[in-house]
Amino acid sequence: MNSGPTKEIRGFVLAADPAREGCFTVVNTDDEMHEWPDMSEISRRERIHRHMNNETGAMEIAAQALVDFPEAPWGLRMNLARQATDEARHADLLLNRLVEMGGAKGEFPIANFEWGVTNMLDNLPGRLAVQNRTFEAGLIDLLGTLRDKWRKEGDHATADMLESILADEITHVRFGNRWIKRMTEENPAILLKVAMAVRFLGKAIGSMQLKPGETNVVGTVWTEEKLRPPAVNIEDRLEAEFTMDEIKEVLSQAGFRTIIPSALR
Amino acid sequence: MGYNTIRERADAIGTFRFISVNLMETLARWVPLTPELEAKILFGRHIWDMAQHADGLGQRTSELRAPLHYSARPTDAYMKVLDTLAGLTDTAERAEAMYAGFLPDLEKRYQAYLDGTNQMQDEPSVRVIERVLSDFQRMQADYRQFRDQRPDLRPKDKGWKSRFESIAKAPADFIAFRPAPPQTLERVSS
């Protein structure tokens, strides 16, 4: 496990938050977030605001991997560098969109769950398994649904933006899949690190996840329906080089929805 | 300084590669440690630029009879400047040091290489460096836009000016050239 600064949430130890400016209220769990189920104006701004922080976190995770693993193959470092810059661009796009919608950074609470989990892992295959192959792959599913949702609401500017972000995320998942495959082929012992990382993620989710009937601070009730995974984006997962067997497994995982940045639901 | 031999060119290009990787890592290190979102984005958006520069330069070293992605550590005095830059903790100082101090100085060093090498013999290096310099212009334009976005972020420390100068005017000698290979020495001495 990582030896950097940590925080303890509900008895579970996660990496301490990355730096955030004073305008942000940083929280740790879903019940502290302001999340509404509808597409009201405030809910739309909150979705964009939450997504903006998730992209910021993804940028930070990729950047930190460059710092923590200087001996990684140069090709992988190039991929991580590209990812960090892509995520920075996504955060910038979302910040601009938020402002266009009349919102402002810091308007809603934010959480850094992905950073907290991923940066507890002291090995790069584990981080790729959690961040690229799980969180970002979950985002592929989610963005496929959200793009259609925003378009249905008549907000084509946001839908177009999500479409372009989705295309980038597919490349991030794809390079994660490729490198994990390559590294485990070269050294099968790495599979154990990947398995331990995924297990750690499962435990973290189990500790934090709201249960049906619980509510967040703005009164949104967590229903069984809300806890169900988003529709699996089969076409885009295939493009990200998941195998059909892996996709079927995702489809069968009842708890899958909880490992995505739930912010965007 | 002329870059007349393949070895001198490889050492220079390898040094520029080392610097590019170092800057990529510095920007990456700053991203999670910098609170202000606009600054995080500024630094984050340039990580890939530095990686591409390192990659292009690293491909070129193998054509100059050095290993692929040959990275040559600069002189100790220049390393001290890189370490000082990486060690900055204030957001405004980080941004100003990188974009108004270090990069313009590095730009001059690239330009000196272009002036000192044979444009025809070393044309592939010239093309790589021209692309680097074009990116530097865009990165500095991004910095000016950032300054417009965040006028509140200006260095305030009284000692900043002299610390900035030490970064903006790094020691002239920065390439630690390898000694000439034995066969060359033999030829010279015979």
Quick check: A69 pLDDT over 90?
A: yes
**CB–CB of B41 and A92 under 8 A?**
yes
| DSSP letters for A173-228 | HHHHHHHHHHHHHH-TTHHHHHHHHHHHHHHHHHHH---TT-B-TT--B--HHHHS
Which distant-in-sequence residues (6+ apart) come within 8 Å of B31 by Cβ? A59, A60, A63, A64, A84, A88, B40, B43, B44, B47
Mean per-residue pLDDT, A117-124: 97
Query: For residue A1, is it within any domain?
Result: no
pLDDT at B188: 58
Quick check: A124 pLDDT over 90?
A: yes
What is this model's ipTM? 0.94
Mean per-residue pLDDT, A137-164: 92
The 10s digit of each residue's pLDDT in A200-240 is: 999 998 888 888 888 998 888 888 877 777 778 888 888 88
- Chain B contact set for A56 (CB, 8 A): 37, 40
Please give the share of chain A, as a percent, with pLDDT higher than 90.
67
Query: For residue A71, is it within any domain?
Result: yes
Domain encompassing residue A76: 6-264
Q: For domain B6-180, which CATH number applies: 1.10.260.40, 3.90.1150.10, 1.20.1260.10, 3.40.50.300?
A: 1.20.1260.10
Axis-axis angle for helices A74-100, B6-33 (nearest 10): 40
Would an 8 Å CB–CB cutoff place B55 in contact with chain A?
yes
Mean per-residue pLDDT, B139-166: 97
Residue ranges covered by each domain of chain B = 6-180
CATH number for the domain spanning A130: value is 1.20.1260.10
pLDDT at A254: 40
* Residue B175 banded pLDDT, cuts 50, 70, 90: very high
**CB–CB of A88 and B33 under 8 A?**
no
- Chain B contact set for A77 (CB, 8 A): 51
The 10s digit of each residue's pLDDT in A3-45 is: 789 999 999 999 999 999 999 999 999 899 998 989 999 999 9
Would an 8 Å CB–CB cutoff place A20 in contact with chain B?
yes
The 10s digit of each residue's pLDDT in B26-60 is: 999 999 999 999 999 999 999 999 999 999 999 99
Quick check: A178 pLDDT over 70?
A: yes
Give the pTM: 0.93
Number of domains, chain A = 1
Please give the share of chain B, as a percent, with pLDDT higher than 70.
95
Would an 8 Å CB–CB cutoff place A198 in contact with chain B?
no
